[in-house]
């Protein structure tokens, strides 16, 4: 049964009433789930809680955003329903009048700064970037069963950089050997890229799919 939030009849529900309803104790567990925060340039700057995100939306300091970069104001969310919104981009929170769709990603209206941090290049961070998933077969493995693979082999001039290293399982690593993905007929599942500066704020093994378009940037 789809979640829906809608006023009853011609009654206009006060936005402050909905705000208080969303922050009700019945939603306590959900209020501390994570929401990705973007600056107004749609670059990731922070990870916050649902509770804080709801406050920013109510105060008109932020809008919700989906994976297609469509934005939503507080009022638009008040009178929308989940079946009309992109799947997996919103979390339904119970109110006295139904369910309020809280976006899993918000964009700040005025803030345009970036956090001053960089991602250290390391084996573990490559695994995290690729969500511990082999970039050839697409299966997820524990860290002990993964290797790093040079897309262009080192013996053929390939460099040890973000855009030439991918996560590989042992079997695929042996199969590819000293070949390129094209030569081995093993296409990559995704193009390797350098993570954004906020990469270290979140464990990418538990990343929400709706965050993915905003977390990686080109090298």
Predicted local distance difference test score (pLDDT) of residue 163: 95
- Tell me the sheet residues that pair with 146: 169
Predicted local distance difference test score (pLDDT) of residue 104: 95
Distance, CA of 138 to CA of 171 (rounded, Å): 12
Written out in words, the top-level CATH class of the domain with range 123-192 is: mainly alpha
Q: Where are the domains of the chain?
A: 15-108, 123-192
Predicted local distance difference test score (pLDDT) of residue 218: 43
Question: Which residue from 213, 219, 218 is spatially nearest to 107, judged by alpha carbons?
Answer: 213
User: Could you report the average pLDDT of every consecutive run of 10 residues in the chain (219 residues)?
Assistant: 38 61 71 91 88 92 94 88 80 79 95 77 90 95 95 96 97 96 96 74 65 67
pLDDT tens column, 159-212: 999 999 999 999 999 999 999 999 999 999 999 998 866 555 555 556 788 888
Give start and end residues of each alpha helix (H) in the chain: 15-22, 28-31, 50-58, 74-78, 123-129, 170-176, 212-215
Core vs surface per residue 116-154: b (16+ CB within 10 A) or e: eeebeeeeebbbbbbbbbbbbeeeebeeeebbebbbebe
Predicted local distance difference test score (pLDDT) of residue 32: 86
Angle at 134 between CA 161 and CA 152, to 5 degrees: 35
Predicted local distance difference test score (pLDDT) of residue 12: 41
């Amino acid at each position: 049964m789809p979640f829906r939030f809608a006023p009853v009849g011609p009654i206009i529900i006060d936005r402050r009433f909905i705000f208080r309803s969303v922050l009700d104790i019945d939603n306590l567990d959900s209020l501390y789930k994570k929401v990705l925060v973007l600056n107004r340039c749609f670059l990731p700057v922070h990870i916050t809680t649902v509770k804080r995100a709801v406050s920013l939306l109510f105060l008109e300091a932020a809008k919700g955003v989906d994976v297609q970069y469509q934005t939503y104001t507080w009022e638009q969310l008040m009178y929308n329903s989940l079946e009309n919104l992109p799947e997996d981009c919103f979390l339904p929170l119970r109110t006295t009048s139904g369910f309020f769709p809280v976006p899993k990603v918000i964009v700040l209206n005025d803030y345009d700064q970036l956090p001053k941090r960089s991602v250290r290049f390391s084996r573990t961070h490559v695994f995290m970037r690729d969500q511990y998933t082999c970039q050839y077969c697409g299966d997820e493995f524990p860290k002990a069963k993964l290797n790093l693979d040079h897309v262009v082999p080192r013996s053929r001039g390939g460099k040890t950089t973000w855009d030439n290293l991918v996560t590989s399982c042992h079997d695929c690593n042996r199969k590819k050997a000293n070949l390129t993905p094209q030569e081995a007929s093993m296409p990559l599942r995704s193009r390797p890229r350098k993570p954004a500066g906020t990469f270290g704020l979140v464990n990418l093994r538990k990343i929400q799919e709706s965050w993915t378009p905003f977390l990686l940037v080109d090298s």
